[in-house]
Amino acid sequence: MDERFNRWLLPPLLALLFLLIVYQYVSPACPGAVCLRRPPASAARRGGDPAERDEEEEAAAALPRLVAKFPFARGELCRRVRFDMRGRDVIVFLHIQKTGGTTFGRHLVRNIRLEQPCYCRAGQKKCACHRPGGDKDTWLFSRFSTGWSCGLHADWTELTSCVPAAMERRGCAGNRTLRNFYYITMLRDPVSRYLSEWKHVQRGATWKTSLHMCDGRSPTPDELPTCYEGDDWSGVSLQEFMDCSYNLANNRQVRMLADLSLVGCYNLTFMNESERNMILLLSAKNNLKNMAFFGLTEFQRKTQYLFERTFNLKFISPFTQFNVTRASNVDIGEDVRQRIEELNFLDVQLYEYAKDLFLQRFQYSKQEEHQKNRLKRREERRLLREQRGHQWPREEAAEAAVTEDYNSQVARW
């Protein structure tokens, strides 16, 4: 009796066990082997994919709100250069004194990941930055690649009139009219830059070999007097440095970025001072805005990010932000700071403009990057859903066949 009872009881128990196993895998709440998290009620009310909503919220939280001071068009914020390393494109670095240009210049020749890295000999400042493929032409015009070919710390006025001819004098192949010159520079907070230049001059720097070429000639001694007698200005006090009215440290960044030919070069009698200052500032702003790239000393990582995005080039090592400099170690009172700002009132306005443009470009690029990544992840999710959709009928058919086979065996029992 017990044996017959067990024989009748065993098949239903096995069938029930099989159904439980099948239900675990084909339950509508968990298609396949992956259970998708149910969207929260708040996400359902907002609509859309909750994962995409989360990404948007994270992206918004990651970027602090920027209150723009100057209106810029989209084309002025989106800086993308199709830099052709193998072609005729050249990066021209306009190196303004005491803006971190030496450090940035070394990054250009030693820290960019290139198919053919710049060749830098030990003990020599200049490196050979040739194009890939054996071409001896250079893709970089800077202190550490071509040297001071247009003069020591040549400004915008000098470089734009000198660089094409200088490239030809170097024996670079090709017609200069086919070249694309992409100008770049670095800017710095005017007070910090001014103090840094003072400390540099105090140690003996002069830059007296600078040409200051404009409209085909250098300025006369009357147009550009010197602030000191003798070989240098070593040991100069900050007060003496500020008291020299024709000190080139005053508003240096505006002067080096403006088209000086618009104001009669260094001839101060060409027009009245207020008109000259207005033209210089507007010219410097316009030239800076139209450059392929500019960075700010105070934002090293953002400078690296924007350069990489602009030229589609990658640095090997990250930039380092130095918060302690010779300028930061100078202890000045509020009255001295105000005096320096007055002496550099054009640079102060330029830097405010440049900082706003720089941060707007950074935020625009970050938002563009987030949008691109979000669309990429959305496409990946779509493909994954399609893949699961194709797999699901095959899995159903296989499970149905297993069920039918088992039912037939139960029927035979």
| Residues involved in catalysis | 153
- The continuous run of DSSP H or E covering 185 comes out as strand 180-187
- Calculate the CA 131 to chain-centre distance: 23
Residues 6+ apart with CB under 8 A from 396: 26
Task: With beta carbons less than 8 A apart as the criterion, state whether 138 and 146 touch.
Answer: yes
Task: With beta carbons less than 8 A apart as the criterion, state whether 112 and 314 touch.
Answer: yes
Q: What is the dihedral of CA 279, 284, 285, 287, to 10 degrees?
A: 120
Identify the DSSP state of 35: P
Find where tokens 């065993």 sit.
Answer: 10
**Amino acid in the structure at residue 109:** V
Q: Structure tokens of 170?
A: 């170097």
Identify the DSSP state of 139: S
Q: How far apart are CA 149 and CA 213, in angstroms?
A: 13
Kindly give the interhelix angle for 300-311 and 345-412, rounded to the nearest 10 degrees.
70
Identify the DSSP state of 315: B
Phi (first) and psi of residue 279, to 5 degrees: -65, -40
Task: With beta carbons less than 8 A apart as the criterion, state whether 174 and 280 touch.
Answer: no
Across 245-267, b (16+ Cβ under 10 Å) vs e yields eebbbbbbbbbbbbbbeebebbb
Q: How far apart are CA 244 and CA 239, in angstroms?
A: 9
Q: Structure tokens of 305?
A: 């990010």
